[in-house]
A and B are shown apart, each in its own frame.
Chain A
Amino acid sequence: MVRGEDPDHDIVQLIHRGELCAALTSLMQRHGTAVYRYCREELHDRTLADDVHQQIFIQAHRDLGRFGGRSTLRTWLFAIARHRVLDAAKSRRRAQAHIEEDEAADAVDPTPPPGERLDDARLQLAMIRCLHKLGEHARGALVLRYQQGLTFDDLAVIYGEKPGTLQARVMRSLPALRRCIEARTGARL
């Protein structure tokens, strides 16, 4: 990567100088909240998200010395975050395999009065539930692309897939998400 392309170039310099604690501190200050919000949306469990969030940065510190600059530092960090989130979700599924799904979660939200536009709050609520119904590949790509603003090239590094594949996946997922939201709310977006 050409010097100056990484928005976190200053942190990369700290890594190259071996100042890993300082690099970690800057990483946490700059990206801690974004990573946390990603964990909360992916896991829908505050306690679990709190724990995974910390584990991500502990692992980041451990791996900082091996950051090779093949992606931006932020992309590298979210790659760690995705793996940690997937592991946590898998462990939780195994632990809760005997628990029946709450069917009430699938209940349709009250339809707004005719002519009333779906407000943002209800849209968010419906979107969260519909995201949960998407497969991890689609959901993760949507969240990283639009919540975190990562490019398809960044996603390609994280997923180990081609940018075009990921773009196609996202483009297919958006209409599916919209249809789910409209079905839940009875409103048209």
Chain B
Amino acid sequence: MTGGDDRITRALAQLGAEHEPPAGWEDRVLAAIEDPPERRRWWFAIPLAAMVVAAVLIVLHLAPKPDALALVVERGPGAARLRGGGAAAGRLVVAHGESIHAVVRGGDRHRAIWVYRDGADLVARCPGAPACRSSGEELTLDLTLPIIGTYQVIAWSSQAALPVPSGAYDPDVAAATAAEATQALQVVEVQ
């Protein structure tokens, strides 16, 4: 290496000696690494989301399903057997002044029994009637029917609260149906 080259290498060693980094640069670097601009790896959430969905599906699948709504209407105790004049299929026939015993089992959380006469007027509702009883598994109604006619005994079941019946058959049935309640019907002929 020549003497001139030596001088150049010494000058190279002093290259930029007057330059200093800008004030605060270290703090800016530390701030940048604490809040990196890189995008979050959103796809890491996919397996977690899949696990959550699977868990929900398993819970729903394993959750106990309610028994189907069942309505049984019987003649009350002491009712006499009627001679002749058999009832039409599916209809219960009772003598006027006799009572019926209606029992609802199964269904969802909210249950009710509404009794209408001749497809028009509400004559009793349970809950609400004096002889209405609820035991958790069963909802029962004992009702005396003094007036001859055709009675519709309807059991309703719904996960949500049932609408309050207005007292008229058609709008009450429409309202309960619109609320997605399930129903069981027993027609009772009072003779």
Which residues of A approach B to under 8 Å, CB–CB? 21, 24-25, 28-29, 32-33, 36-38, 40-41, 50, 53-54, 57-58, 61-62, 120, 123-124, 127-128, 142-143, 145-147, 149, 171, 174-175, 177-178, 181-182, 188-189
Contacts and interface: CB of A to CB of B under 8 A. Distances in A.
Contacts of A33: 20-21
A25 B30 contact: yes
B30 A24 contact: yes
A143 B16 CA distance: 10
Interface of B: 1-5, 7-9, 11-17, 19-22, 25-26, 28-30, 32-33
B12 A37 contact: no
A25 B31 CA distance: 12
A24 B28 CA distance: 13
B9 A174 contact: yes
B24 to A, nearest CB: 10
A37 B19 contact: yes
B9 A21 contact: no
Contacts of A189: 3-4, 7-8
Given A54-B28, A127-B12, A146-B13, 17 more contacts: A24-B30, A32-B21, A53-B21, A54-B29, A54-B32, A61-B29, A62-B33, A120-B14, A124-B11, A124-B14, A127-B11, A128-B15, A143-B15, A146-B12, A178-B2, A178-B8, A182-B4
B interface SS class = helix
Nearest 8 A/B pairs, CB to CB: A189-B4, A146-B12, A37-B16, A36-B21, A147-B15, A174-B5, A40-B19, A57-B29
A154 to B, nearest CB: 16
B5 A25 contact: no
Contacts of A188: 4
A36 B11 contact: no
Contacts, number: 89
A171 B26 CA distance: 36
Given A147-B16, A174-B5, A21 B11 contact: no
B10 to A, nearest CB: 8
Nearest to A175: B5
A77 B173 CA distance: 81
A40 B16 contact: yes
A36 B23 CA distance: 12
A33 B29 CA distance: 14
Nearest to A117: B7
B19 A181 contact: no
Contacts of A120: 11, 14
Contacts of B29: 24, 28, 54, 57-58, 61
Given A25-B30, A36-B21, A178 B12 contact: no
A61 B33 contact: yes
15 contacts: A24-B29, A28-B25, A28-B26, A32-B25, A32-B26, A37-B17, A54-B29, A58-B32, A61-B29, A120-B11, A123-B7, A124-B11, A171-B1, A175-B2, A178-B8
Contacts of B22: 50
A36 B20 contact: yes
B43 to A, nearest CB: 20
